[in-house]
């Protein structure tokens, strides 16, 4: 059930008034039921797999409370990683080993031997990381209160963040679950703003860019070098609008139900360094990798060489988290390399005194944007060969011209304006001053645009992860 689909519109239109008219003590259970329906709408068998995972994780949590053994935490973390590996990385694992496996081992290949074809469950990367964080936080005594099963189920399966995050922590949701919610005009206004902004980013901007650049990514050799250049830069905007659009809608839906979930994006291309970029992009994944992987490996406390190794491992595994493909490995490696070079070479880091120099700030942001966009060639292409073809095609003197350049220019201008306001949210005061005029017009216009573009709308990019 996609946030930008008619099915979800009906689902949420029914749920919202029922939720607010339901007595407070039953609202949690109603939202759990709604989350069950939301996920089962995609696949009933995988819903049971998901729910079984929740039950197993809670049983391990109870075992830890009973025996207080580190081995129990290690066991459930390994079990969660194995579950993720089996569904997401088995094909890559088999492909890597196929070169050394003896003849007759084809029976291990999914779909042709004893193992059936493997389908990736929706949102498995997100809810797996969320449950691992829960167990590690309990072991680290980040929280000590006992968590009820239904509260744990709500924490993992709350439908606004279920499919593509944000990856939530204990302290970001449990305190809200059983508190009495109040639906105020201010929260309604903010929820509407988030939802409208998210739908606009996804349906109008991201999907429009997709229609322009997809032909280039399919056949980069047929297009000019400049067209390939525009395509991979366009993808950087597409994935920003697509994923931040999802995150905005998720925050709006949650706020409409009385919950505040974490911000996942904070104008990432306003950053002047790669470390700052990763503090603004997919924030909940970045902090998860930092807190549960990078710091666990030793962080930067174990010397320069170990720091480089720890950072590279973190970024490469962060790349592979997105998918079982060599291209994601290279994408993660490139970002690890960017961060290491920035850390090791002083003049690559923006000094504090440079904050007031507008031209230098703009220059750094332009360079950052283009390097991140270039790495996106590996993120976007499903194969290493396709990525290398696009890089080679950047030197094409002749070839087809990309269609929709004027649209890309307009979208880029919209991106700059939206990034400015997202980086300076206090400048959005005019929205609340004139919301009685802005909101109805925005809803009507967006509704017409969505209806006209619905046939070309695509699933959110991060749904595949």
Task: Show the DSSP H helices in 68-184 as ranges.
Answer: 70-88, 90-97, 124-139, 149-157, 174-177
- Residue 136 burial (C-beta neighbours within 10 Å; 0-12, 13-18, 19+): middle
Q: Which conformational region is residue 111 in: left (phi greater than 0), alpha (psi within -120 to 50 degrees), or beta?
A: left
Pair of tokens at residue 262 = 């974490």
Per-position DSSP letters for 409-427, written without gaps between them:
HHHHHHHHHHHHHHH-GGG
Q: Is-catalytic flag, 322?
A: yes
- Residue 434 burial (C-beta neighbours within 10 Å; 0-12, 13-18, 19+): exposed
Task: Show the DSSP H helices in 44-123 as ranges.
Answer: 44-67, 70-88, 90-97
Per-position DSSP letters for 202-249, written without gaps between them:
IIIIIHHHHHHHHHHHH-GGGB-HHHHHHHHHHHHHHHHHHHHHHHHH
Q: Does residue 358 contact residue 188 with C-beta atoms inside 8 Å? A: no
Q: 277: which residues sit within 8 A by CB, 6+ positions away?
A: 268, 269, 271, 368, 372
Q: Does residue 264 contact residue 283 with C-beta atoms inside 8 Å? A: yes
Pair of tokens at residue 125 = 């990367």
Determine the Cα–Cα distance for residues 45 and 119; give it in Å rounded to an integer.
11
Pair of tokens at residue 166 = 């944000």
- The helix/strand/coil state of 453 is helix
Note if the bond before 291 is cis, omega within 30 degrees: no
Q: Determine which one of 135, 282, 322, 335 is catalytic.
A: 322
Determine the Cα–Cα distance for residues 221 and 355; give it in Å rounded to an integer.
42
Residue 451 to residues 49, 93, 189, 201, 444, Cα–Cα distance (Å): 35, 43, 23, 15, 11
- The helix/strand/coil state of 92 is helix
Q: Which residues pair with 223 in a beta bridge?
A: 400
| Residues with active-site annotation | 322
């Amino acid at each position: 059930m996609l946030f930008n689909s008619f099915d979800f519109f009906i689902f949420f239109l029914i749920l919202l008034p029922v939720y607010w008219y339901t007595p407070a003590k039953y609202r949690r259970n109603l939202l759990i039921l709604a989350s069950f329906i939301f996920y089962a709408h995609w696949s009933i068998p995988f819903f049971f797999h998901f729910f079984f995972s929740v039950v197993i994780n809670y049983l391990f949590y109870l075992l830890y409370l009973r025996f207080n053994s580190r081995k129990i935490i290690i066991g459930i973390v390994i079990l969660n990683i194995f579950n993720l590996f089996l569904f997401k990385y088995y094909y890559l694992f088999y492909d890597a080993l196929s070169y050394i496996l003896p003849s007759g081992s084809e029976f291990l290949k999914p779909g042709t031997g004893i193992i059936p074809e493997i389908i990736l469950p929706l949102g498995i990367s997100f809810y797996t990381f969320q449950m691992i964080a829960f167990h590690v936080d309990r072991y680290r005594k980040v929280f000590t209160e006992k968590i009820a099963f239904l509260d744990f189920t709500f924490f993992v399966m709350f439908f606004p963040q279920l499919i593509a995050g944000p990856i939530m922590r204990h302290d970001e949701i449990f305190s809200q679950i059983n508190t009495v919610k109040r639906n105020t005009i201010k929260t309604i206004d903010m929820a509407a703003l988030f939802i409208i902004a998210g739908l606009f980013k996804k349906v109008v901007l991201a999907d429009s860019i997709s229609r322009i650049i997809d032909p280039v990514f399919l056949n980069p050799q047929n297009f000019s070098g400049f067209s390939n250049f525009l395509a991979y830069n366009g993808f950087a905007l597409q994935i920003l609008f697509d994923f931040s659009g999802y995150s905005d809608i998720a925050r709006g839906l949650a706020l409409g139900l009385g919950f505040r979930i974490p911000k996942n994006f904070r104008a990432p291309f306003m950053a002047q360094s790669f470390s700052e970029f990763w503090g603004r992009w997919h924030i909940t994944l970045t902090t998860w990798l930092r807190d549960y992987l990078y710091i666990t490996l030793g962080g930067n406390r174990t010397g320069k060489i170990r720091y480089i190794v720890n950072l590279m491992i973190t970024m490469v595994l962060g790349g592979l988290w997105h998918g079982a493909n060599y291209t994601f490995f290279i994408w993660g490696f490139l970002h690890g390399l960017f961060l290491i070079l920035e850390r090791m070479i002083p003049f690559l880091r923006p000094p504090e005194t440079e904050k007031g120099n507008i031209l230098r700030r703009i220059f750094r942001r332009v360079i950052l944007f283009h390097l991140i966009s270039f790495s996106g060639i590996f993120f976007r292409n499903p194969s290493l060969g396709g990525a290398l073809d696009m890089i080679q095609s950047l030197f094409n003197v002749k070839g087809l011209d990309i269609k929709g350049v004027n649209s890309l220019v307009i979208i880029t201008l919209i991106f700059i304006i939206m990034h400015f306001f997202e980086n300076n949210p206090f400048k959005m005061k005019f929205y609340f001053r004139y919301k009685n005029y802005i909101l109805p017009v925005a809803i009507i216009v967006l509704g017409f645009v969505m209806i006209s573009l619905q046939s070309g709308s695509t699933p959110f990019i991060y749904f595949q992860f």
